[in-house]
Amino acid sequence: NAREYSNLLAPRVTHLDAQYLDDEIHDLLKTKLLDSAQLSGITVYTKFEPEIDAFLKLLIYRLTVVKSKASVGQRLLKLKYSKTVPEHLLKHYSLMLVLFPWLHTRTMDLCHIFVKNEQKRIKIMSYVNIMEVTYKIMHLLNLLVFLYEGLYSTVGQRIFKLRPIPTVLPNLRQISYAFFSRELLWNGFSELLGIILPLIPTQKVHSIIKSVLPSRRRGNEVHTDQTDEAELLSDTVCMLCCNAPILPYQFGCEHVACYYCISTKQMQQQYIECSLCGYLLEDYDHIGPVRIQTQF
């Protein structure tokens, strides 16, 4: 038996959050029901999905809006319809929320069943499209009016004059100072990173860091003294793209790479590291096409 503050207006964001929570709860129940049907091997669910969806909505509205005069989202956010609202009005409101989406989904199927004339079907579908556009315009206008006056957040609520009222004082939704300061600090830090990061030459920094790594230098020195020659066999792959090399080029070690892979890497960074043996190529003048005879 929560108190009612019928003379107060709940914050507009509370109305919108309640609608969002209702949609999320319905989608969650529908998804769980669909998963259960699939696991049990029931294939009739996909054929009668609109009917099952409508029944699920009707059951939710019956147990929440009609019985307790508040949806799940409204109860979570301390909203409800007034005790003076008659039960039959809430039933009609719930039926409208269930029936109209179901008719919109099944209009084509109903036309094929009850209307045999093709011209009449086309005319009915044109009327349905006009009604859909009209409803979208009404929804947009209602949203603008709601943002101005803060009374009815949906077209259905405006038609039935159902205004959710707060059950607690609205000031309970005020954000605490510590949370607000933490959010401001994090947002400021994120904006600072967004400004600074594009100015940092990340590729140059990456090249400098990799050039000073001892393991990379030792690998390069080992291969510098060696005169390994690439051998192109049937199973040879490009050390950059790991596919069959196209226009194979001598990399400097015993591996080869595609000409286009090397050219692309050359435009991106100062050096290339062999992904197969870790050899570090810093001078692009040492690369060249494979001159040995191909062996197959």
- The residue among 124 and 250 whose pLDDT is bigger is 124
- Is residue 294 assigned to a domain? no
CA of 119: how far to CAs of 9, 104, 115, 128, 263, in Å? 50, 19, 10, 14, 63
- Is residue 86 assigned to a domain? yes
**Same-domain check for residues 25 and 94:** yes
- Looking up residue 255, the CATH number of its domain turns out to be 3.30.40
99-113, 114-128, 165-179, 243-257 — which is least confidently predicted?
Answer: 165-179
**Same-domain check for residues 147 and 232:** no
Which of 106-115, 149-158, 241-250, 280-289 shows the highest mean pLDDT?
149-158
Q: Which helix (DSSP H) or strand (DSSP E) does residue 250 occupy?
A: strand 248-250
Q: Is the pTM of this model over 0.85?
A: no
**Same-domain check for residues 107 and 46:** yes
- Is residue 89 assigned to a domain? yes
What is the band of 191 on the pLDDT scale with cuts at 50, 70, 90?
confident
Token pair, residue 207, equals: 């090249």
**Same-domain check for residues 160 and 251:** no
Q: Which domain holds residue 273?
A: 202-289
pLDDT above 90: residue 214 = no
Burial 120-154 (b: 16+ CB within 10 A, else e): ebeebeeeeeeeeeeeeeeeeebeeebeeeebbbb
88-92, 130-134, 169-173 — which is least confidently predicted?
Answer: 169-173
Number of domains in the chain: 2
- Is residue 78 assigned to a domain? yes
281 touches 261 (CB < 8 A): no
What is the band of 225 on the pLDDT scale with cuts at 50, 70, 90?
very low
- Is residue 123 assigned to a domain? yes
Report pLDDT for 217. Answer: 39
